[in-house]
Amino acid sequence: MINMRYSGYKGKILRVNLTNKKSSTLEVTDEFARRYLGGNGFAARYVFDMVNPRMDAFDPTNVVAMMTGPFQGINIPTAGKYYMATKSPLTNGYFDSVSGGHIGAQIKYAGYDGILIAGRADKPTYLFVEDGKVEFRSAERLWGKLTGETQEAIKEEAGDPSLCISAIGPAGENCVRYACVITEYRAAGRGGVGAVMGSKNLKAVAVRGSGSNQVADPAKFEEWINWYNAEAKKIPAIATGLPTYGTPVLVASINNMFGAMGTRNHQGEFFEGWEGISGETLKKSYWTKDTACPACPIACSKVFTVKEGKWKGAVSEGPEYETVYAFGSMCGISDSGALIKTDSLCDEWGLDTISYGVMVAFMTECYQRGLITKENTEGVEFNFGNDDVLVNYVERTAKRIGIGDLMAEGSLRAARVIGGDSERFAIQVKGLEVPGHSARALRGMALGYSTATRGGSHHDPRPTGEYAGASDRKAIDGKAAWVIGTQQMTTIGDSLVQCHFLERLLGFTLTQKYVDMINPVTGFGYTFNELVDIAERILDLERAFNVMTGIRRKDDTLPRRFLEEPIPEGPSKGMHTDEPTLNRMLDEFYGIKGWDKRTGIPTREKLVRMGLEDVATVLESL
């Protein structure tokens, strides 16, 4: 056992090589923990050090990082999560995806701060990790199975109904570029981490630990918990909105108040059929029960059941708001039943719901414009509002059947095959399909998506502060500083591996309140400036990795549709961020970041200030 000065850490990382079935451990020093915090920070450093950015994401040398932060396995609200990172087959850049699930705590209890997986197994394999031991078990009889069946089969084999498992579905096995990883019923959804697992012949990771985790200062921690309990009650979103309706509570306000809900592949941003897919409708007609991520009192996850109609019998945990947008307004579908059915299918087959829904919307617009025809789609009519397409193409995409093979490539790659003018309306940034927070109605999201490590992700920049009015959603000046603040906040959240839903309580950008939460748990005694530097260090490392894949300022942009076509109707009619405006904000952004304005590459001066001199040297050798 490694003794660390700081709490919340086990002091070691499990390293696994699937090619030669060998494992070893990597020490986490006090200094490393203090500099990189956990989850996002640890993985950004490991991936930068271990993965060749120019290598294909499906090359065996790519690494899948499964990480925890100091908060896993203790009773802290909204930290019942785990963190995955890899070089993405969708964006080709550094990519991370955070998911709810009890496996994060189990990794800690098993004695590790994380697991790094490299190589490629010669046959389908799953990892069984228990209290410092790792076994490479055969997954041959699990190959081809859905994520639910897979988890049940592994639990049965282990004789442990509580065993925690993260698994891929057939989509991951077939390297669908936006295949997800499912733990219980939650998804590490985005960027194709599941596809990288599939390329490694890795079906699942099961973890069980009999250890524990503890905090540095129990009295101060209890004080913080009491503060949380008192203050959280005063925030309507945390106290009632999310517990009652879950994230679909956003539908009514984003659609009706802001007119910012991408509709029919963003040909509009107001969906006239919103009532059928609103949080209120889901609660009234489909809600069956609340579920929660571990240790979370909010319980924003909802189990929905379709009780009548065409999709009767479908049950799913979710859809979440983003899925309602991707399957609903984006595909022109106002029947929640179809959304619930497709949500459960995506979880089972292992597809990211956001990318899949936006992909269907993109193909539908291509069909509408005659860029693809019935000849390409085996006679199926890809029309907006056709819920059979949405439901049926989950399996066809996961198995890469017919046009599903092209849909498995993501909208950017598909647009390059389809041609015409289709790339203009492929709703993606850096290859990642954009979620349900408008880049046209929210100025911060225009700059945020453009500059995010992952591209079209709502968990790099955050939209919440602009909805809440904490930052004027139309403002241009000063927006760069705001966006940088939100990106710093999410980076710290992803390093603690904690949900961003406490942002209304702790701050939309980094604040002293985050410091006050971290110090009692870890004993770091951070100052606010130290925490900001950690976030910047991690973001610069991610950027450096992306720079080495070829990313430059020219790639920090939006789909042409967003730059050139204002929102045609609704409360945000006429809004968008055109290219000159984006460039103005980018200049300001790079200036504050200390990135070169011409290239978008972090300067040596900035990297040295972040203690990343080695990274500066690597970048200069390009």
Partner 1 sequence: MTQEKKPLIRFDVQKCAFCKICELSCSKYHYGKYGDALSRITIVRKSPLMLRSLICTRCDKRFCIPACPTKALSYKGGNIVVDEKLCNSCGDCVKACPFHGIRLHPETKMPLICDLCDGDPSCVKACPKSALTLVWLPEGGK
Binding site for partner 1 (CB under 8 A): 73-75, 80, 102, 105, 109, 161-162, 184-185, 209-214, 218, 288-297, 299, 301, 303, 315, 317
Least Cβ distance, residue 209 to partner 1 (angstroms): 7
Of 18, 364, 349, residue with least CA distance to 176: 349
Least Cβ distance, residue 238 to partner 1 (angstroms): 12
Q: Which helix (H) or strand (E) holds 563?
A: helix 560-564
Least Cβ distance, residue 430 to partner 1 (angstroms): 34
How many angstroms separate the CA atoms of 160 and 139, rounded?
17
Neighbours of 468 (CB within 10 A): 13
Least Cβ distance, residue 7 to partner 1 (angstroms): 10
Q: Dump strand ranges (E) for 30-73.
A: 64-67
Nearer to partner 1, 8 or 279 (CB): 8
Least Cβ distance, residue 214 to partner 1 (angstroms): 4
Nearer to partner 1, 118 or 521 (CB): 521
Least Cβ distance, residue 301 to partner 1 (angstroms): 8
**What SS3 string covers 159-193?**
CCCCCEEEECCHHHHCCCCCECEEECCEEECHHHH
Least Cβ distance, residue 288 to partner 1 (angstroms): 7
Nearer to partner 1, 109 or 545 (CB): 109
Nearer to partner 1, 131 or 530 (CB): 131
Nearer to partner 1, 62 or 68 (CB): 68
Of 92, 108, 35, residue with least CA distance to 59: 92
Nearer to partner 1, 285 or 511 (CB): 285
Neighbours of 392 (CB within 10 A): 15
DSSP 341-366: HHHHHHHHHTB-HHHHHHHHHHHHHH
Q: How far is CA 457 from CA 55, 143, 167, 341, in A?
A: 23, 30, 23, 24
Least Cβ distance, residue 22 to partner 1 (angstroms): 27
> Do 351 and 178 contact (CB within 8 A), yes or no?
yes
Nearer to partner 1, 225 or 470 (CB): 225
Least Cβ distance, residue 141 to partner 1 (angstroms): 21
> Do 347 and 182 contact (CB within 8 A), yes or no?
yes
**Side chain identity, residue 606:** K
> Do 58 and 89 contact (CB within 8 A), yes or no?
yes
Nearer to partner 1, 133 or 416 (CB): 133
Nearer to partner 1, 232 or 610 (CB): 232
DSSP 429-495: ETTEEP-SS-TTT-HHHHHHHHH-SSSS-TTSS-SHHHHTTSS-TT--TTHHHHHHHHHHHHHHHHH
End-to-end CA gap in the chain: 41
Q: Which helix (H) or strand (E) holds 31?
A: helix 30-36
Nearer to partner 1, 24 or 214 (CB): 214
85 beta partners:
65, 96
Least Cβ distance, residue 138 to partner 1 (angstroms): 25
Sheet hosting strand 164-167, strand order edge to edge: 133-138, 125-130, 202-208, 164-167, 181-183, 186-188
Pair of tokens at residue 575: 């809004």
- The pair phi, psi for residue 351, each rounded to 5°, is -110, 145
Least Cβ distance, residue 163 to partner 1 (angstroms): 10
For tokens 């076509």, name the residue. Answer: 565
351 beta partners:
179
How many angstroms separate the CA atoms of 452 and 459, rounded?
9
Least Cβ distance, residue 307 to partner 1 (angstroms): 14
- The pair phi, psi for residue 158, each rounded to 5°, is -85, -10
Pair of tokens at residue 155: 């639990």
Least Cβ distance, residue 173 to partner 1 (angstroms): 24
How many angstroms separate the CA atoms of 80 and 68, rounded?
10
For tokens 């019998």, name the residue. Answer: 313
Nearer to partner 1, 153 or 446 (CB): 153
Of 106, 107, 131, 135, residue with least CA distance to 1: 131
Nearer to partner 1, 318 or 463 (CB): 318
Nearer to partner 1, 211 or 273 (CB): 211
Least Cβ distance, residue 222 to partner 1 (angstroms): 10
Nearer to partner 1, 89 or 104 (CB): 104
Nearer to partner 1, 149 or 569 (CB): 149
> Do 60 and 197 contact (CB within 8 A), yes or no?
no
Least Cβ distance, residue 108 to partner 1 (angstroms): 9
